[in-house]
Structure 1
Amino acid sequence: MNAPRRNMMLADALAQVGAVGLFMFSILAAVPKSLRHYRETVRQVWFVGAMSLVIIMTCGLFVGMVLSLQLYYVLTNFGGTAALGTVVALSMFRELGPVVTALLFAGRAGTSMTAEIGLMRATDQLSAMEMMAVDPMSYVVAPRFLAGILAMPLLVCIFNALGLLGAHLVGVSWLGLDNGTFWGNMTSTVEVWSDLLNGVWKSAAFGAVIALIATFQG
């Protein structure tokens, strides 16, 4: 690839990043006005959150089961099966929960937001809103952006809860680990502020990024 073509591709990439940045500032400026349309925000939270529960719960359960099964046999080599609940909980709360939920959220809710806004643009619905003195940024885009930020932490909590349930089913009910040991070591090691809430903040950031990209592409 020659140098002019590489420079052109780099310039296009930088222009795209700049456009996304300006679009984000437009959304943030429209957020105060979008609070008047709180019902639309609530509807979007239901659409991107509640409608994604089935896939989130299913994947959370099986991720917890597989993680517990694999870690049990690894910890057996070191005589540390008592730490199974702790390792699963820390893995889910810190990394796996936010990351896997974000991937599922982008695949289901992100694509639906992009398609919906793209259809509204193709059918000139956004232009019609502007003609009726309705700001599309505050009525269409900002509620979806806020819904992504609000729904992601809730979905991550549900994903983590089902993951721990799956880990308990495998570790305690199937492999015979003591129930008190499973929960006791977990509750004594996992901290709310440093482990649980860090994952929640991370999930909110993922939700903002996914909603920003989805609405921008739409």
Structure 2
Amino acid sequence: MSDKSGSKWKKAVQVFTAFFKVGILGYGGGPSSIPLVHQEVVKKYRWMNDGEFSDVLALGNALPGPIATKMAGYIGYRVLGITGCILGVLAMVLPTVLLMVLFLSLLSAYKASPKVQGMTGAVTPVVGVMLAVLAYSFFKKSWEKKEKSVTVTVGLISAAAIGLLDIHPAVIIGGTLLFALFSKEKKPVTGEKEGKAS
């Protein structure tokens, strides 16, 4: 084995180990994993400095999807190219997948147990309340903007389409995004015209 391939193998192990550790210890979702990612990436392996890490964090927050997975993919790519990207993402999601399979297998095996039924029964209203709070916060943010009549109209149409017509929510979301995209008024860029005239 040459020094170059040995170095690549070592980096591959480091990328996988670093993000697997974050994936298994990062309890509470992506944002709670960021300090662990920082510890591994900046302090332990020194793959980037604090400034570069903050740039990656800012960019990751701007893009859709789980922040920790996006960072694992990018940092892995930066360290070891496509292989590092795949290893970083795989290492980050593997602990969650394994734990889900384990817990779902246990729930499936003991689903007839009164304790398990009580547990799942207790979780259902909590999830419902969390979704209701989230929906209320979205509604409140949109209500604070100028287009209050649009908020009410789109909300009522969406509720009717999902509740009465049984249309999938993804279709409603896609339609709403298209509506918002095409209904925006295009304002003329006066700065460019003034610059050309002068």
- Which structure carries more relative contact order (alpha carbon 8 Å, separation 6+)? 1
- Structure that is richer in helix per residue: 1
Interval containing the TM-score (normalised by the shorter chain): under 0.3
Give me the TM-score of the superposition, normalised by structure 2.
0.28
- Which structure's CA Rg is the greater one? 2
Give me the TM-score of the superposition, normalised by structure 1.
0.25
